[in-house]
Amino acid sequence: MTPEQKIIESGELQVEGRFVDASNATLFAKCVVGAEEVAVIYKPIAGERPLWDFPDGNLAQRELAAYLLSEALQLHLVPFTIMRDGTFGPGMVQEWIEIDEELDIVELTNSENDRIRQMALFDAIINNTDRKYGHILPTKDGPIYGCDHGVTFHTDPKLRTVIWQFAGKEFTANELQVLRSASELASKETDGMISAAELSALNSRIADLLGAGVFPEPSEDWPAVPWPPF
């Protein structure tokens, strides 16, 4: 665990503002230990709006499940995420990522970038219903992260994303290994975070991806791109 992660885990959570455009309570905060502080996003469970198509669990738990699975697969696509108490009760706390605002996010997202391709694979695994351009976080140091994984792991196919340039392309040997690892690790890493039905669907989805051997194609049964795309 890095020094910053230790501060996020144990520091005093001080809320500084709210993102007013978010449909659920999304707060900018800092975790403070003495003179040291780390910026975070805090999403209290109490601030979640019920979703008719996600009746089980909560957004915060699915955010954590996505982080844990990403880490277990050594993809490191999701910023450090934990569940902890805060000013408005228990919720998800995630490390704030400073993005490189000079990059053209649309151009990057539509490119053949290896990290974007990894994100496309990860989204197919977790059945991400909301991969918007604004949920892709490129940094000046090079790493690219993804955020807002609250609407994932649904039992029905609901993949909605702005990353479709890899559709139909064969998985590489490394990507196939990621899928095999996901099959082995899914139950452990999502234990208590998603429902039994969602876990069963996750395992079936991984098996289907392995069987197909290619990135999924957009479905004709539901919108393939989230709206708005940003």
Give the domain CATH number at 165: 1.10.510
Q: Is residue 108 one of the residues assigned to a domain?
A: yes
- Residue 72's nearest CA partner among 117, 126, 114 is 126
Determine what percent of the chain is predicted with pLDDT higher than 90: 87
| Residue 229: pLDDT over 90 | yes
In the predicted model, what is the mean pLDDT of the chain? 94
Measure Cα distances from 49 to 43, 71, 104, 160, 177 in Å. Answer: 12, 28, 32, 20, 37
pLDDT of residue 35: 95
pLDDT of residue 18: 86
Q: Is residue 44 one of the residues assigned to a domain?
A: yes
Q: Is residue 117 one of the residues assigned to a domain?
A: yes
Give the DSSP H/E element, type plus range, for residue 199: helix 196-212
Q: Is residue 21 one of the residues assigned to a domain?
A: yes
| Residue 28: pLDDT over 80 | yes
Q: Is residue 230 one of the residues assigned to a domain?
A: no
Give the DSSP H/E element, type plus range, for residue 33: strand 27-33
CA distance 147 to 125: 15
pLDDT of residue 57: 73
| Residue 88: pLDDT over 90 | yes
Q: Is residue 221 one of the residues assigned to a domain?
A: no
Mean pLDDT of 88-106: 96
Q: Is residue 93 one of the residues assigned to a domain?
A: yes
pLDDT of residue 52: 67
| Residue 90: pLDDT over 90 | yes
**What sign does the dihedral 124-5-113-108 (CA atoms) show?**
positive
Name the residue range of residue 40's domain: 3-212
Number of domains in the chain: 1
Mean pLDDT of 9-15: 97
Q: Is residue 218 one of the residues assigned to a domain?
A: no
| Residue 176: pLDDT over 90 | yes
